[in-house]
């Protein structure tokens, strides 16, 4: 008997189906050893020796593995083929060790071929890769467990800092400041509605029929409905312009026009009324649109957030179940690669369902753009393309089916043909014998071939233009000047923060969702309609870290770290000097900052005075969220709850429903007349149903359990 050890139990089950009876497959359930939770666990005096110990929740797993190892003829370490996976193998080897025969087997996809291949070509644990993981772990521990206590001392108890979470917080704080200092600019666009002159062109219409037949896309028939044109040039000069702003995280571009006041717009409006409008140019262009790459963890979370408003946490929990039930491949991945077998299955499926035209000549193979990607797994795809979302609905329910459907469409579309669109641009000149000539433009587009849009129809929508003739005169129907303001850069949400973190190589697929949960749990940020706003505590912590540790609390720090880890893994550089080079200046800085003053958390006045001593009342952020207190604290201890109202009323006594938090920090909604009225619900949607239907609520629950 041979013992095979992988990380995930679902993976173990799948592999069991491929291998014969002489193999026993077990899962490690992730890391089995870690640094102790309650102390630093790194001996900085003695070459940073880490005190790895068996994780509390893995003692049982290890006991069982040890038992199996005793009877095994050989042990195959088949953990994930990346830095962390290599360390898990090393830890298991160390724990089960002594006289056992270990080999290391790696594969990047769970297919029969890949696994047989891996077993035929066994290797040994890569010590250099393990060293790189040790360095990563020790560095993160030193940063986290040295900075956090400093925050307890200088700001408030229970706070935290770390290489990843502090940069995520910084992104959000910097963005808030960029929004605050953003200068809005007024600008105007001018839309001109023009119509065709039916009686005049009636005879020409016949002639145009010839061109009409040649053109692949038929134009809408001529009619007297008007078409909207945009003003684009005045006397040969373009009115559109753009401004670029440097942000902490990249660049921000806004487009606007050089018409910057109502007076200027009105003047153009009046002048345009005196002009004659003539079609001056018609051009057509075919554009190809290619499908998107199949999902990774990051893009899956982004799309689920954008399309269904799901949090990263929720998406991952739905995906976990889909994975466990065998509907999709592994859901924590940074790879866009699909197993060759799956690619051909999808091509077959598309050919059968939609015809030959819908698959490109050659299969599409995608490459990830992230240079820090470790690509230990496949992209996220359905394990069997012929499984419909109805089947998922029957087995797991509509929420799961919705996510599965999204994954299915993206994966299938990724192997389909390009969509082909024909766009038509019509230019109109507006002039007279008086000064000033204007150029107007309109664009229409027609889908010639839907291609991949057949299964993933996003951003679809034709805009058919009537058939125009060059030189044709048009009638002015209406001129509409519209006022705009340049919008400030948007606040981050679940989708955009994950996108930024991934782009900068900060965090990993298994942590994107938890990074956000952590800074939310510390009350560093709060959500406003799904977007992140830093709290006063978040601002204070961020400013403290940036002021004193900007070399760590910055995007390039992780990129540099990754370069150094690569040198350890690939060139065999020793890890201890790398950590020492980091720690020596860090320790000096820590000692200096320890002597500095406490940080004051800014408060916000609410425009009301304290009933006790008349001083202004302020909003503070405590351990459980916002509350109102006297500015003179601790000399005056007046305090009361910060009440966030909703639009709902209590079905029991008609009081207002307000937002509250449990001791554990969960949000719920209760009656403002508490404790006189004890009405409370977890979700506002429960409230709508509440009055008429306890029965319907119960029914739904029992069916969804099936």
d(CA 139, CA 132): 11
Q: Contacting DNA (CB under 7 A), which of 518, 555, 615, 684?
A: 518
Provide the 3-class DSSP secondary structure of residue 446.
Answer: strand
- How distant, in Å, are the alpha carbons of 80, 100, 166 from that of 94? 17, 10, 34
Residue 163 is a binding residue for DNA (CB under 7 A) = yes
Residue 438 is a binding residue for DNA (CB under 7 A) = no
Question: Which is nearer to DNA, 97 or 158 (by Cβ)?
Answer: 158
Work out how close the CB of 28 gets to DNA at its nearest, in angstroms, rounded to a whole number. Answer: 8
Work out how close the CB of 660 gets to DNA at its nearest, in angstroms, rounded to a whole number. Answer: 5
Question: Which is nearer to DNA, 392 or 681 (by Cβ)?
Answer: 681
Provide the 3-class DSSP secondary structure of residue 686.
Answer: helix
Number of shown-chain residues binding DNA (CB under 7 A):
87
Chain centroid offset of residue 403 CA: 15
Question: Which is nearer to DNA, 222 or 620 (by Cβ)?
Answer: 620
Residue 154 is a binding residue for DNA (CB under 7 A) = no
The dihedral sign for the CA sequence 269, 275, 279, 281: negative
Residues in 466-485 that interact with DNA by CB under 7 A:
none
Q: Report whether the peptide linkage leading into residue 200 is cis, meaning its omega lies within 30 degrees of zero.
A: no
Work out how close the CB of 134 gets to DNA at its nearest, in angstroms, rounded to a whole number. Answer: 11
Q: Contacting DNA (CB under 7 A), which of 53, 94, 243, 678?
A: 678
Residues in 37-76 that interact with DNA by CB under 7 A:
37-39, 55, 57
Residue 354 is a binding residue for DNA (CB under 7 A) = no
Phi and psi at residue 234, in whole multiples of 5°?
Answer: -125, 120
Q: Contacting DNA (CB under 7 A), which of 67, 682, 693, 696?
A: 682
From 145-153, 185-193, 199-207, 464-472, span contacting DNA (CB under 7 A): 145-153
| Residue 25: CA count within 13 A, CB half-sphere | 19
Question: Which is nearer to DNA, 8 or 311 (by Cβ)?
Answer: 8
Residue 80 is a binding residue for DNA (CB under 7 A) = yes
Q: Contacting DNA (CB under 7 A), which of 23, 245, 449, 633?
A: 633
Residues facing 430 on adjacent strands: 277, 438
Q: In which element (H, E) is residue 12 found?
A: helix 9-18
Q: Contacting DNA (CB under 7 A), which of 23, 638, 648, 684?
A: 638
| Residue 590: CA count within 13 A, CB half-sphere | 18
Work out how close the CB of 117 gets to DNA at its nearest, in angstroms, rounded to a whole number. Answer: 20
Residue with tokens 């309609």: 529
Residue 662 is a binding residue for DNA (CB under 7 A) = yes
How long is the chain? Answer: 706
Q: Contacting DNA (CB under 7 A), which of 674, 684, 689, 690?
A: 674
N-to-C CA span, the chain:
39
Residues in 318-347 that interact with DNA by CB under 7 A:
320, 323-324, 330, 332
Q: Per the residue annotation, which of 187, 295, 323, 330 is the catalytic one?
A: 330
Residue 535 is a binding residue for DNA (CB under 7 A) = no
Provide the 3-class DSSP secondary structure of residue 530.
Answer: coil
Work out how close the CB of 82 gets to DNA at its nearest, in angstroms, rounded to a whole number. Answer: 6
- DSSP per-residue codes, 611-657: TTT-PEEEEEEETTEEEEEETTTTT---EEEPPEEEEEE-TTT-PEE
Residue 648 is a binding residue for DNA (CB under 7 A) = no
Instruction: Give the Cβ contact number of residue 170 at 10 Å.
Output: 23
Residue 83 is a binding residue for DNA (CB under 7 A) = yes
Rounded (10°) angle between helices 389-396 and 312-324: 90
Work out how close the CB of 411 gets to DNA at its nearest, in angstroms, rounded to a whole number. Answer: 20
Residues in 541-600 that interact with DNA by CB under 7 A:
none
Rounded (10°) angle between helices 512-521 and 165-180: 70
Question: Which is nearer to DNA, 159 or 171 (by Cβ)?
Answer: 159
Work out how close the CB of 577 gets to DNA at its nearest, in angstroms, rounded to a whole number. Answer: 21
* 358 in active site: no
Catalytic residues: 330
């Amino acid at each position: 008997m041979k013992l095979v050890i992988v990380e995930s139990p679902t993976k173990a089950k799948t592999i069991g189906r491929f291998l014969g009876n002489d193999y026993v497959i077990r899962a490690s359930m992730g890391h089995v050893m870690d640094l102790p939770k309650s102390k630093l666990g790194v001996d900085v005096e003695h070459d940073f020796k880490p005190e790895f110990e068996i994780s509390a929740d893995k003692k049982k797993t290890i006991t069982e593995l040890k038992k199996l190892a005793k009877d095994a003829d050989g042990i195959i370490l088949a953990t994930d083929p990346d830095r962390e996976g290599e360390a898990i193998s090393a830890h298991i080897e160390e724990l089960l060790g002594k006289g056992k025969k270990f080999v290391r087997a790696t594969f990047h996809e769970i297919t029969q071929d890949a696994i047989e291949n891996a077993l035929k070509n066994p290797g040994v644990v890569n010590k250099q890769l393990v060293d790189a993981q040790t360095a990563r772990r020790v560095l993160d521990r030193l940063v986290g467990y040295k900075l956090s206590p400093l925050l307890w001392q200088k700001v408030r108890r229970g706070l935290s800092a770390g290489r990843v979470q502090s940069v995520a917080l910084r992104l959000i704080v910097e963005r808030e400041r960029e929004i605050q200092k953003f200068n809005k600019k007024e600008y105007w666009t001018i839309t001109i509605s023009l119509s065709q002159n039916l009686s005049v062109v009636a005879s020409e219409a016949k002639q145009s029929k010839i061109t009409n037949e040649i053109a692949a896309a038929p134009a809408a028939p001529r009619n007297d409905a008007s078409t909207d044109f945009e003003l684009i040039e005045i006397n040969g000069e373009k009115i559109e312009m753009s401004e670029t702003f440097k942000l902490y995280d990249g660049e921000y571009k806004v487009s606007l026009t050089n018409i910057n006041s109502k007076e200027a717009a009105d003047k153009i409006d009046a002048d345009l009324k005196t002009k004659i409008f003539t079609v001056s140019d018609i051009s057509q262009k075919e554009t190809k649109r290619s499908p998107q790459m199949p999902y990774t963890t990051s893009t899956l979370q982004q799309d689920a957030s954008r399309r269904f408003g799901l949090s990263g946490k929720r998406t991952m929990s739905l995906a976990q179940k889909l994975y466990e039930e065998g509907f999709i491949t592994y859901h924590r991945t940074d790879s866009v690669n699909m197993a060759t077998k799956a690619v051909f299955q999808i091509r077959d499926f598309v050919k059968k369902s939609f015809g030959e035209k819908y698959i490109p000549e050659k299969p599409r193979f995608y490459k990830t753009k992230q240079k820090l990607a470790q690509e230990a797994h496949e992209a996220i795809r359905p394990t069997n393309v012929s499984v419909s979302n109805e089947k998922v609905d029957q087995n797991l329910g509509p929420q799961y089916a919705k996510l599965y459907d999204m994954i299915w469409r993206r994966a299938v579309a990724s192997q389909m043909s390009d969509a082909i669109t024909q766009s038509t641009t019509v230019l109109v000149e507006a002039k007279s014998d008086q000064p000033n000539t204007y150029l107007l433009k309109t664009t229409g587009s027609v889908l010639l071939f839907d291609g991949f849009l057949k299964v993933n129809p996003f951003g679809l929508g034709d805009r058919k233009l009537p058939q125009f003739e060059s030189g044709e005169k048009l009638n002015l129907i209406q001129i509409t000047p519209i006022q705009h303001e340049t919008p400030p850069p948007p606040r981050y949400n679940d989708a955009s923060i994950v996108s930024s973190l991934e782009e900068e190589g900060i965090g990993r697929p298994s942590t994107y969702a938890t990074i956000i949960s952590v800074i939310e749990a510390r009350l560093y940020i709060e959500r406003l309609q799904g977007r992140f706003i830093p709290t006063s505590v978040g601002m204070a912590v961020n400013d403290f870290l940036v002021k004193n540790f900007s070399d760590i609390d910055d995007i390039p720090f992780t990129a540099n770290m990754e370069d150094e880890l690569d040198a350890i893994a690939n060139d065999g550089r020793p890890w201890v000097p790398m950590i020492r080079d980091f720690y020596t200046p860090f320790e000096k800085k820590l000692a200096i900052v320890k002597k500095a003053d406490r940080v004051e958390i800014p408060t916000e006045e609410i425009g009301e005075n304290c009933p006790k001593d008349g001083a202004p009342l302020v909003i503070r952020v405590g351990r459980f969220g916002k509350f109102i207190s006297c500015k003179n604290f601790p000399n005056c201890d007046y305090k009361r709850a910060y009440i966030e109202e909703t639009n709902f009323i209590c079905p029991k006594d008609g009081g207002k429903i307000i937002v509250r938090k449990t001791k554990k920090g969960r949000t719920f909604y209760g009656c403002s007349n508490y404790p006189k009225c004890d009405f409370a619900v977890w979700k506002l949607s429960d409230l709508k149903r509440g009055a008429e239907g306890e029965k319907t609520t119960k029914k739904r629950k029992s069916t969804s359990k099936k």
